[in-house]
Amino acid sequence: AQKITQTQPGMFVQEKEAVTLDCTYDTSDPSYGLFWYKQPSSGEMIFLIYQGSYDQQNATEGRYSLNFQKARKSANLVISASQLGDSAMYFCAMREVISSGSARQLTFGSGTQLTVLP
């Protein structure tokens, strides 16, 4: 069974500074994918970034980057130059392969509430 752990229930960062949100995972599958989502107070989950287990380089997407350390089973999200609009809940998730059918189930962590201070 897979498990995603986010140990920081809440984080604060000053506007324009960088922040790292931690995520560790546990899986016996050699092939897997890691995702980060942002959930503002409006409730909608917004896809941010993806990292595949066989990707040679860390994923980047604008101000978001993923610090992927496969041996340590960690996939931390780094947000550079924080903005007030970055205040939200952030979820780490892992995709597993389902033996039947083709759907790819995501397993989510419990989330980190990020607050950007002016």
Partner 1 sequence: DVKVTQSSRYLVKRTGEKVFLECVQDMDHENMFWYRQDPGLGLRLIYFSYDVKMKEKGDIPEGYSVSREKKERFSLILESASTNQTSMYLCASSPETSGRAAQYFGPGTRLTVT
Residue 93, amino acid: A
**Contact range with partner 1 by CB under 8 A, out of 11-19, 61-69, 78-86, 101-109:** 101-109
**Contact range with partner 1 by CB under 8 A, out of 20-28, 62-70, 74-82, 98-106:** 98-106
Closest to partner 1 by CB, 44 vs 62, is: 44
**Contact range with partner 1 by CB under 8 A, out of 11-19, 69-77, 79-87, 95-103:** 95-103
Mask 42-81, x = binds partner 1 (CB under 8 A)?
xxxxxx--x-x-----------------------------
Contacts of 38 (CB under 8 A, 6+ apart): 45, 46, 48, 86, 88, 89, 90, 91
Q: Which residues bind partner 1 (CB under 8 A)?
A: 4, 33, 35, 37, 42-47, 50, 52, 91, 93, 98, 100-111
